[in-house]
Amino acid sequence: MRERKKKEQEQVVNEAQNAVRKVQVRMDAKIAEREDVRHQRKTINPMMLDTIDKLLVRYAEQIVEIKTELDEANRLLKEEEEKLAICRQELEALEKHKERAKEEWLEEEKQAEMKMLDEVASQRYFRQMVESAQEAIELGEDD
């Protein structure tokens, strides 16, 4: 489940990164348009200067709006990256916990196996002692 949550969060981060790129492209395009108008201003009819100035003001306003969008997109991206970092930490902690649990289980299995082998060895020793005692008794009777 946490793996799925991490993958979903990675997708959200990718979408946020794409949103930032799109806004940045829009901003770069708007700045380029403004610069084109500034260069054209030098060669334009003086009667159009007022219109060009208004257009430049409008471009400046649009750039400010896009900058605000870019700041918001970057803020959202940062939030989503922080969530992703938390998901990764949780997943890593879970994996470590699973590994520790597996190691504990293996140790318990090893202890159980050792106990069983000790019991088998004890039974064999006891059987050998009984057989030795019986042989000794049988040898003692034969005398």
| Beta carbons of 1 and 83 less than 8 angstroms apart | no
Angle of the 49-142 helix axis to the 2-41 helix axis, nearest 10: 160
Query: Distance (Å, rounded) from C-alpha 8 to C-alpha 64?
Result: 33
Tell me: the pLDDT tens digits for 94-141? 899 999 999 999 999 999 999 999 999 999 999 999 998 888 888 777
Tokens linked to 106: 């293996």
Task: Provide the residue ranges of all domains of the chain, joining segments of one domain with +.
Answer: 2-142
Topology, domain 2-142: Helix Hairpins (1.10.287)
How many C-beta neighbours within 10 Å does residue 20 have?
19
The three-state secondary structure class of 47 is helix
What percentage of the chain has pLDDT greater than the value 90? 64
For 126-141, give the DSSP string.
HHHHHHHHHHHHHHHH
Does the pTM of the predicted model rise above 0.85? Answer: no
Which residue stretches of the chain are H helix? 2-41, 49-142
Tokens linked to 104: 């504990």
Tell me: the pLDDT tens digits for 40-49? 888 877 788 8
